[in-house]
Amino acid sequence: MTLVGPKGWRCSAAYGADGSGGVVVFPNGETVPQSWEAGWHVPRGSPTEAVVGSETSGCQGCAAGQACPLFESAASAYLSESGRPCPSARPTKEDVQNLGTGQVSFEDPSGIAGDGMPSGGLHPAKGVMTYYPQSPNGSWFETCTLPDSQRAICDSALAAFVSMYGQL
């Protein structure tokens, strides 16, 4: 996985035996939780910044589980496959926009712990996600959490991600 992020930042990756996993890009001096790929909310007011990408590989249940807060079809698939409702609910203040078939963008405002990783802190978390129900490539997801003054970096990072992984 390739991500666009601010110059000079570090990165770390975590991938499982099934091929699912992701990459996190973060500033020098910042620490990243060991289990960031399982979700990453930060305390309100936290200045945490990062660009995070993840993908579920071909695991259909994993793809539906990742995408179910943002795609109704994924929520239905997850319920049908697991017998349980989506494990996380979308916050009402999270803004979600349809980018086209199988693609959405979202934004968690400052202080809202939503689908973005990281989210809930001082900076808004902007993101994109894909979900194509029968795709062997799973669901792909990226979040960019930076100050508003660096919004252009997030816009570029998310556009690059959609360009590379939006049609898989």
At residue 168, the pLDDT reads 72
1 in any annotated domain: no
159 in any annotated domain: yes
Residue pLDDT tens, the chain, 168 long: 999 999 999 999 988 888 889 999 999 999 888 777 777 899 999 999 999 999 998 888 889 999 999 999 999 999 998 899 988 888 889 999 999 999 999 999 999 999 999 999 999 999 999 999 888 888 999 999 999 999 999 999 999 999 999 987
2 in any annotated domain: no
DSSP collapsed to 3 states, the chain: CCCCCCCCCEEEEEECCCCCEEEEEECCCCCCCCCHHHCCECCCCCCCCEEEEEECCCCHHHHHHHHCCCCHHHHHHHHHHHCCCCCCCCCCCCEEEEEECCEEEEEECCCCCCCCCCECCCCCEEEEEECCCCCCCCCEEEEEECCHHHHHHHHHHHHHHHHHHCCC
For 44-79, write each residue's pLDDT tens digit.
999 999 999 999 988 888 899 999 999 999 999 999
At residue 120, the pLDDT reads 96
Domain count, the chain: 1
Which structural domain range is residue 128 located in?
Answer: 10-165
pTM assigned to the model:
0.92
32 in any annotated domain: yes
44 in any annotated domain: yes
5 in any annotated domain: no
15 in any annotated domain: yes
4 in any annotated domain: no
At residue 135, the pLDDT reads 85
